[in-house]
């Protein structure tokens, strides 16, 4: 099997597909990239058993075959090759892949393609198109709230639901909850629901920046996404996702409108002094909110922002990072903060964006 392509096309394809190469697996073949050639059809594939990526490589092939090449090594080598044409030549007898570019010749040890996991059959999945901008914006709004704790797998995923002409995504790590609804006018999407690993949707956001539409399809155990000539498949997470409608209170005692940019800057500055799990304190009084933080043996910070607040004083504490993420996820000039009491969750809300971010408070001492 002999493949000829440009260095630019090779590096571009490898930079995408290498993102699913496993860096931790003890199974060597998962650290590789599967290269397949069939007449003039060239394809690169990779998987870490949760996520897989595959795409076509622009080039010419002589002979057909398949081989697995060490992923990180091939990526690093390809980036350093001289500009121009690159030749990849597989010697099955020697178990090597020779990489030639101008006067540069390298030979890499390979793995057998027969040991590479069989990937889901993308061609057999019925897909539908969703506007790329709307889909990726919805991911960006909710993904920060997904858990990284593998002991509760269902919370490491994002609930993706298509219903009634809308796309609804929700994510929670049990300390905060993000929910975003997006109208899909003109999209003929079937009603379906799946819990998709947050990491997989983050990777999709990276590879789908240049396309107009994302293809979506659901199998029994996998979800398939297409972006241009790149296909991403990921396992579905089994389990019951928390009912986000029941988690968000129906009524609140206080609804405060805050200038989003100014409030975010105050939170960022004050958070510098909220270390060692110290909370960020928000004290609401007539016409103002005071944001403060104090960490023993480190220091303290305090800043006041004028706002339209009336009623009894209220002081509530939040995790600085969680509060910052919630405010930062809103893209409008004003952000709504809804509160009940110091021990009940608060809600960051944007009606214009149909975005809700529920955040649990931290009990304040003193």
How confident is residue 26, by pLDDT bands cut at 50, 70 and 90?
A: confident
How confident is residue 41, by pLDDT bands cut at 50, 70 and 90?
A: confident
pLDDT of res. 355: 98
- Calpha distance 225→128 (Å, rounded): 10
Average the pLDDT over 63-75 and give the result. 96
pLDDT of res. 130: 95
Does residue 96 contact residue 105 with C-beta atoms inside 8 Å?
Answer: no
Note the pLDDT tens digit of each residue in 88-137.
999 999 999 999 999 999 999 999 999 999 999 998 999 999 999 999 99
Candidate from 182-196, 301-315, 337-351 with smallest mean pLDDT: 182-196
- Quick one: tokens of 67? 């081989």
CATH topology of domain 2-115: DNA Polymerase III; Chain A, domain 2 (3.10.150)
Burial of residue 188 (number of CB atoms within 10 Å: 0-12, 13-18, 19+): exposed
- Calpha distance 167→142 (Å, rounded): 12
Does residue 266 contact residue 89 with C-beta atoms inside 8 Å?
Answer: no
Alpha helices for the chain (secondary structure H): 7-17, 71-80, 132-142, 198-207, 244-247, 260-271, 320-328
Domains 123-244 and 248-359 share a fold: yes
Note the pLDDT tens digit of each residue in 231-246.
999 999 999 999 999 9
**pLDDT score of 220 more than 90:** no
Instruction: Give backbone dihedrals phi and psi of 361, rounded to 5 degrees, phi first.
Output: -85, 165
pLDDT of res. 24: 81
**pLDDT score of 186 more than 90:** no
Instruction: Give backbone dihedrals phi and psi of 155, rounded to 5 degrees, phi first.
Output: -85, -10
CATH of span 123-244: 3.10.150.10
Average the pLDDT over 301-308 and give the result. 97
- Calpha distance 95→28 (Å, rounded): 15
Beta-sheet pairing, 2-6 with 85-91: antiparallel
Structural domain boundaries of the chain?
Answer: 2-115, 123-244, 248-359
CATH topology of domain 248-359: DNA Polymerase III; Chain A, domain 2 (3.10.150)
Residue 60: which H helix or E strand, with range?
strand 60-62
Does residue 165 sit in helix, strand or coil? coil
Does residue 319 sit in helix, strand or coil? coil
- Quick one: tokens of 286? 């007539």
- Calpha distance 305→13 (Å, rounded): 49
Q: Is the pTM of this model over 0.85?
A: yes
Does residue 172 contact residue 148 with C-beta atoms inside 8 Å?
Answer: no
Only one residue has tokens 């609140």, namely 252
What lies within 8 Å, CB to CB, of 365 at 6+ separation is none
**pLDDT score of 366 more than 80:** no
How confident is residue 25, by pLDDT bands cut at 50, 70 and 90?
A: confident
Rg from Cα positions in the chain: 25
Q: What phi-psi label fits residue 174: left (phi over 0), alpha (psi between -120 and 50 degrees) or beta?
A: left
Does residue 239 sit in helix, strand or coil? coil
Note the pLDDT tens digit of each residue in 199-209.
999 999 999 99
């Amino acid at each position: 099997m002999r493949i000829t392509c440009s260095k630019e096309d090779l590096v571009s394809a490898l930079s995408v597909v290498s993102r699913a190469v496993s860096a931790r697996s003890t199974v060597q073949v998962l650290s590789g990239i599967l290269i397949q050639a069939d007449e003039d059809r060239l394809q690169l594939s990779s998987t870490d058993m949760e996520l897989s990526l595959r795409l076509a490589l622009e080039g010419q092939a002589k002979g057909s075959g398949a081989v697995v090449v060490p992923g990180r090594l091939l990526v690093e080598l390809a980036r350093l090759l001289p500009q121009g044409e690159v030749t990849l030549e597989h010697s099955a007898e020697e178990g090597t892949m020779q990489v030639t570019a101008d006067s540069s010749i390298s030979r890499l040890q390979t793995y057998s393609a027969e040991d590479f996991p069989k990937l889901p059959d993308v061609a057999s999945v019925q897909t539908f198109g969703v506007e790329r901008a709307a889909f990726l914006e919805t991911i960006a709004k909710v993904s920060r709230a997904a858990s990284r704790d593998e002991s509760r797998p269902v919370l490491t995923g994002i609930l993706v639901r298509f219903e009634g002409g809308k796309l609804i995504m929700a994510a929670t790590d049990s300390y905060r909850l993000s929910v975003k609804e997006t109208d899909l006018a003109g999209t003929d999407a079937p009603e379906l629901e799946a819990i998709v690993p947050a990491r997989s949707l983050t990777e999709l956001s990276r590879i789908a920046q240049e396309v107009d539409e994302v293809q979506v399809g659901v199998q029994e155990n996998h979800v398939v996404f297409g972006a241009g000539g790149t296909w991403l498949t990921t396992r579905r997470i089994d389990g019951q996702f928390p009912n986000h409608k029941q988690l968000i209170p129906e009524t609140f005692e206080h609804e405060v409108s805050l200038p989003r940019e100014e409030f975010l800057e105050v939170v960022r500055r004050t958070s510098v002094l909220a270390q060692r799990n110290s909370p960020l304190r928000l004290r609401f009084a007539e016409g103002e909110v005071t944001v403060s933080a104090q960490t023993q043996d480190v220091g303290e910070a305090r800043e006041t922002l004028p706002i339209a607040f009336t009623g009894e004083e209220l002081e509530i504490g939040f995790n600085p990072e969680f509060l910052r993420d919630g405010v930062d996820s809103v893209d409008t000039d004003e952000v709504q903060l809804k509160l009940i009491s110091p021990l009940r969750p608060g809600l960051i809300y944007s009606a214009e964006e149909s975005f809700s971010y529920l955040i649990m408070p931290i009990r304040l001492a003193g």
